Chain A
């Protein structure tokens, strides 16, 4: 460091950082608003913290939260596997497969997920029995639709099949983002299409696929609340059920919100790790998040710039 100063004569220059009065004013406004909100938490009895505390860990609410998590996990699994399959079909050289995939995406993306769930749930209205047999021929095994598709299955089908349509487009974008030279080179080495896809294209596509998939997962966690329409007891339905008895819907919905926030926070952290894992080979690092920067500012006394800007002004640590 000293050698650099000697060389440039920087020691003689008295550098004064540029003042940012606007930043201080904006920060003060935000701080006052936050203080007002916290004051309301303490002084406004309508928040009803005792009710919130009483039901936060109530059995029915915890059961609902578990159902919400299970639904999210299974529906996303269906969505991701289905999405990859549909994206590959869409990009396939086979026109029938490509058209079928396009049709699927058109239909499932074009109708509301709530309507789809209600239809899956009431499928027995259209088909009271589902059987396995030769098409248009004899039937070997016949199932009662309602016992085959449980309430939970109907929810998974509705949420998962709808998600697959969205995931298909995300995966397709990821696949298209990988330079064509990669698959050409792999083909030149004698790899077949499936192997090229599995070993060369998909791993590189993951870096583009992961962020929107994390987004979809967080979105799914909250979309599961539509199952109230088929009387499946998820987190929101559980809160509504309790509110129907004690007539305190807002505190109960706040209980649900606290759980939704807790679960999405965990998912957000998980997404960060996944992004880091699949971004290993890339030169651009994801920038620090808002909370991280606030923490740094509190620790170091002034806002840190992003790594790129730091490097530009020679602050790289």
Chain B
């Protein structure tokens, strides 16, 4: 990518940092901003206002337009799904996005789009952030930076009546599995398929759908034997299905969720990290997680690019 072109914006960021620090006088320190993750800042926010340290790290082009455009695939309740008006994206990610936007003094606009289009849309510069239950993994880190904010595994679910016995990934050999296109579930199931054929068993028939809702429909009409989703989402959807679906087997692969930030956006990832730290320390984070029944996946310190695999 044309790194030379980014130089003026980085300079502008430094100027904004100076101004931000000046504006924050009387408040506490502007905090450490070492890249590489895990850095903590002493919160500079009052309960209602913005976080000075975080604001200072917002790239000039974003602070001048005043809006953060966040991409989410609203077929993944309770993390992100459509409200009854059919257009507003609600859920944990949407609430966290608003809370982060408040710390940064930016208006947050959450847009609904298919999951597999989010990372390309970030790379193209169409969106500023991707908050859509992204598992932070090494492959995706080559495309975008992640500010880690939650922790989740992957669960299996199937029809309550007459489904196959599934305990873990190894029991998928020979089964039809419905997943959403572009998810870690899709790559896990496809990877398992190779493991199955190498071991001389029948392959996994992986059916990839544009949305998780379509994957669920295929499961309920018997097109697929089992479906996979992130643990909190699988649990919520099974609960919402009124007994049509049930969870099976054990969850696996607990990994961080990350807020996807374009690599070309300067220090935006640090700004998000600092804003999120403030959201965690002022208690808003815990409230949001409790609201959606997701407290068990909460974290205490947001890192950057903390992929496990």
A residues adjacent to B (C-beta < 8 A) = 118, 121-125, 128, 145-146, 151, 228-231, 237, 240-241, 243-245, 247, 249-250
Contacts and interface: CB of A to CB of B under 8 A. Distances in A.
A123 B120 CA distance: 34
A125 to B, nearest CB: 4
A122 B209 contact: no
B214 A229 contact: yes
Contact of A249 (B120, B187, B220): B120
B218 A122 contact: yes
B261 to A, nearest CB: 15
Given A247-B143, A249-B120, A250-B120, A228 B210 contact: yes
Q: Chain B interface: which size bin?
A: 20 to 34
B220 A244 contact: no
A230 to B, nearest CB: 8
A147 to B, nearest CB: 10
19 contacts: A122-B218, A124-B221, A124-B223, A146-B223, A228-B210, A229-B209, A229-B210, A229-B214, A231-B178, A231-B218, A237-B208, A240-B181, A241-B181, A243-B116, A245-B187, A247-B119, A249-B116, A249-B117, A249-B120
A132 to B, nearest CB: 20
B187 A123 contact: no
B222 A124 contact: yes
Contacts of B214: 118, 229
Nearest to A126: B221
Interface of B: 116-117, 119-120, 123, 140, 142-143, 178, 181-182, 186-187, 207-210, 214, 217-218, 220-223
Contacts of B140: 247
Contacts of A228: 210
A125 B217 contact: yes
Contacts of B210: 228-229
Which 9 A-B residue pairs are closest in the complex by CB-CB distance? A125-B221, A122-B221, A231-B207, A244-B182, A124-B221, A249-B120, A124-B222, A247-B143, A146-B222
A190 B209 CA distance: 58
Best-surrounded residue of B116, B117, B217, B223 (most CB of chain A within 10 A) = B223
Contacts of A146: 221-223
Contacts of B142: 247
A244 B181 contact: yes
Contacts of B223: 121-122, 124, 146, 151
A237 B116 CA distance: 12
A316 B255 CA distance: 77
B143 A231 contact: no
A249 B181 CA distance: 13
Nearest to A128: B222
Nearest to A232: B207
B5 to A, nearest CB: 14
A244 B140 CA distance: 10
B116 A240 contact: yes
Nearest to B123: A247
Contacts of A241: 181, 208
A229 to B, nearest CB: 6
A146 B178 CA distance: 15
A122 B217 contact: yes
A58 to B, nearest CB: 16
Contacts of B143: 247
B215 to A, nearest CB: 9
Nearest to A125: B221
Contacts of B116: 240, 243-244, 249
Contacts of B222: 124-125, 128, 145-146
A274 to B, nearest CB: 36
B217 A244 contact: no
Contacts of B218: 121-122, 230-231
A151 B207 CA distance: 10
Most-contacted residue by chain B among A121, A230, A231, A249 (CB, 10 A): A231
A43 B181 CA distance: 33
A245 B116 CA distance: 10
A271 B222 CA distance: 41
A244 B207 CA distance: 14
Nearest to B223: A146
Nearest to A247: B143
A231 B120 CA distance: 21
A121 B217 CA distance: 10
B161 to A, nearest CB: 11
A37 B54 CA distance: 43
Nearest to A146: B222
A5 to B, nearest CB: 67
A245 B120 CA distance: 12
Given A230-B218, A247-B123, 4 more contacts: A122-B220, A145-B222, A244-B187, A249-B116
B120 A247 contact: yes
Nearest to B119: A247
B216 to A, nearest CB: 11
* Residue of B117, B119, B214 with most chain A CB atoms under a 10 A cut-off: B214
A229 B217 CA distance: 11
Contacts of B221: 121-125, 146
